[in-house]
Amino acid sequence: MRALSILLVLVLIAPIVNAQSLNEALQECPGTMIGSTQPTQIHLQATDDPTSMNVIWATTTRSTGEVEWNGQSASSSDYCYNHDMAFHMATMTDLVPGEEVTYRVGSGGTWSNDFSFTTIDPLSNYFEWISIADHGDSSEAMDVSDAIISDTSAQIVTISGDISYADGEQSTWDDWFNYQQESMSRIPWITGVGNHENEPGYEFTPYEHRFDSDGEIESETFWYSRNFPGVHMVFMSTEHDFNPGSAQYNWLEQDLSSVDRTITPFVIVYGHSPMYSSNSYHGSEIELRDAVENLYVEKGVDFVVAGHDHFYERTWPVNSQTVIDTGIEGKFARGQAPIHLVIGMAGRSAYEDLDEPQPEWSAYRENSTYGWTKWTYDGELREISFTFYRIDGTIGDEFRLQEASIIVESDDEFLGVPGFSSLLSILAMFGAAIQRFTRSQGPYYPTRMQESPV
């Protein structure tokens, strides 16, 4: 009887103890925090486990929260930083890849509307996503946001730094998240840091508390990777030490070495500053190129996606400023060298001046422009197709990267030999087979390419 009484007391006081400890965490936060428990700024955050999804939201007063989904519920972690908002992060678990999940979040008994998302099946044969950088809150940025909201086929958005341009004004972040909620409550936005996430008076603290890539509140991993159908995506930080010997470089080397190409044949590295840019405002980050280009080439990275310069530029497959391949009719075969993209045209003021003459490695560039990029992995075709859309909906640039060698289909003849192109294709496939054998014996790219003269 005595044991039962003790158990009863423990059960009764447990929620109080729990609430007190959460309140203590929230009380540590400075600021007035007088307001509502209505959830705002609701956004999904992809974990490295396809069967779970994090959701973060904000309230203007201290409260504890929970998420409900598919008949289940989980409590949130509740926290804040030096800003008059409380933040809540909860994890939805036991998700089935490819299923639709309906969820809502609540704080202090005040619930959000219902939202739905479809979990990503990493073994799917098809995947669409949007990539942007250098966003902000201009009318052009809102046009890009509206385009993302109206895109019902993209399954994630990546943003390579310079996200809201709050620059120390924290209400800018609040407004930015509220505007993106319609998209971010439905598909996760996956982020890397730019120089504008290092805020005056706050450093990376707002970024660390408002996004999550490691499931830990009040901490952020600035370099991490995610597997999606057909694509291994690396999010690195050009705002932290990336030189050989640094923690980030060691992690990059380990991560890129561990990619299983039979599952994810394509590899993309997202960062903020570009190692190839012919915009005169910032230009190529030579220190970055010196530090990591060889590693990316050696490990067979297919795309390096950056921002920072507010324009659009695509390079040819390039190594040490030497063009390795110019493709055929907008099609490239992977495995030659990385294609570098600067996509810093998602809304922040456009940079006009370009270096002249256009460098040889620059395949296409466009200034005074705004827009977003749309990517598709098609496992049947074994290729990634890429399109740069301007905010008026016109196409600025497009190309495809194939996993296999390019086969030119035509009935032409050359020197009286019918089907000459087919013969070339066969020779190309034979060459690719030799190259694959060579790769299995050493670095991913032939050594001669690494030693090409600048």
Contacting range for Fe ion; rule: CB under 5 A; set: 155-163, 361-369, 375-383, 426-434: 155-163
Residue 195 touching Fe ion (CB under 5 A): yes
C-beta closer to Fe ion: residue 132 or 184: 132
Contact 165, 129 (CB under 8 A): no
Residue 56 or 163 with smaller CB distance to Fe ion: 163
Smaller CB distance to Fe ion: residue 78 or 134? Answer: 134
Q: Between residues 138 and 422, which has the closer beta carbon with respect to Fe ion?
A: 138
Q: Which H or E run contains 184?
A: helix 170-184
Q: What is the nearest approach in angstroms of Fe ion to the Cβ of residue 106?
A: 36
Angle between helical axes of 247-257 and 286-298 (0-180°, round to 10):
30
Instruction: In whole angstroms, give the CA distance from residue 158 to residue 192.
Output: 8
In the region spanning residues 128 to 147, those forming contacts with Fe ion, defined by CB under 5 A, are 134
Among 190-198, 352-360, 377-385, 423-431, the segment contacting Fe ion (CB under 5 A)? 190-198
Instruction: State the nearest-atom distance from the C-beta of 69 to Fe ion, in Å.
Output: 36
User: Applying CB under 5 A, which part among 17-25, 168-176, 249-257, 302-310 lies near Fe ion?
Assistant: 302-310
The answer to whether 199 contacts Fe ion (rule: CB under 5 A) is no
DSSP characters over 23-50: HHHHHTS-S---S----EEEEEEE-SST
Task: Compute the least distance from the CB of residue 227 to Fe ion, in Å.
Answer: 27
The answer to the question of residue 194 lying near Fe ion (CB under 5 A) is yes
User: Which tokens sit at 285?
Assistant: 């980050």
Kindly indicate which of the ranges 143-151, 228-236, 306-314, 400-408 contains the residues binding Fe ion, using the contact rule CB under 5 A.
306-314
C-alpha–C-alpha distance, residues 312 and 251, integer Å = 29
For Fe ion, which residue of 209, 308, 314, 374 counts as binding (CB under 5 A)? Answer: 308
Residue sitting closest to Fe ion (CB): 162
Q: Give, in order, the Cα–Cα distances in Å from 193 to each of 135, 251, 453.
A: 12, 17, 33
Query: Please, which of residues 161-180 interact with Fe ion by CB under 5 A?
Result: 162
CB of 395 to Fe ion, least distance (A): 23
**Contacts (Cβ under 8 Å, ≥6 apart) of 313:** 274, 276, 277, 278, 279, 340, 341, 342, 362, 364, 365, 366
Cβ distance to Fe ion smaller for residue 266 or 370: 370
Under 8 Å between Cβ of 68 and 114: no
**Could you tell me whether strands 318-319 and 371-378 are parallel, antiparallel, or unpaired per DSSP bridges?**
unpaired
**By the rule CB under 5 A, 294 interacts with Fe ion:** no
Judged by the rule CB under 5 A, the positions of this chain that interact with Fe ion are 134, 162, 194-195, 308
